[in-house]
Homo-oligomer: A and B are copies of this chain.
Amino acid sequence: MATLTGVQKAYILHWGEMGTRWGINRTVAQIHALLYLSPRALPAEEIAETLSVARSNVSTSIRELEGWGIVRAVHVLGDRREHYESMKDVWEMFRLVIEQRKRREIDPTREMLRRSLEELDPKEAGVDFTRERLAAMAGFFDAVTELHDQMKSLPTGTVRKLLRMGAKVSGKKKSRAASS
């Protein structure tokens, strides 16, 4: 079991805390942080020891990380155990997470809004106000979805470049966009 340096500890703890704020299990986030900082793939046993959590807890958490597609099992010659490693490309990692969260949270919300707008009873009092609010919310999520779909169609590196300089482009575009 590799002992952690001060910086590594700080990173893992911070990342775990960050996870909880965004609805991600603290241990899951910590394991990801550990693997992200690790130069070699680690067996579950070693992860459990390093972070002082139960082996079973690691098993469940790893499964979730595999579900996000940002951690995978690799095999080491002469060792029957699974070793786990994190994706190293930060941009791709966040792209994956965002894509999944969209699928799990944004899409169902859009569906709920769509169905609600359908179900609105015209005889009900205050229905116009409700419709307006739901439609406004739906419009927002539609726009976010459209943007996401477009980004998805770009090769990974491009997204990074666009995001890096995109802000400046937007600035220049401001007058044109506003007047259109």
A interface residues (Cβ-Cβ under 8 A, vs B): 5-8, 10-11, 14, 18, 20-23, 36-37, 39, 88, 90-91, 94, 104-105, 108-109, 112-113, 116, 119-121, 124, 126, 129-130, 133-134, 136-137, 139-140, 143-144, 146-147, 149-151, 153-155, 157-158, 160-171, 173-174, 177-178, 180
Contact = CB atoms under 8 A, between A and B. Distances in A.
Q: Could you say which of A121, A129, A166 has the most chain B C-beta atoms within 10 Å of its C-beta?
A: A166
A161 B108 CA distance: 24
A133 B88 contact: yes
How many copies of this chain does one complex carry?
2
A173 B162 contact: yes
B90 A140 contact: yes
B129 A158 contact: no
A121 B6 CA distance: 10
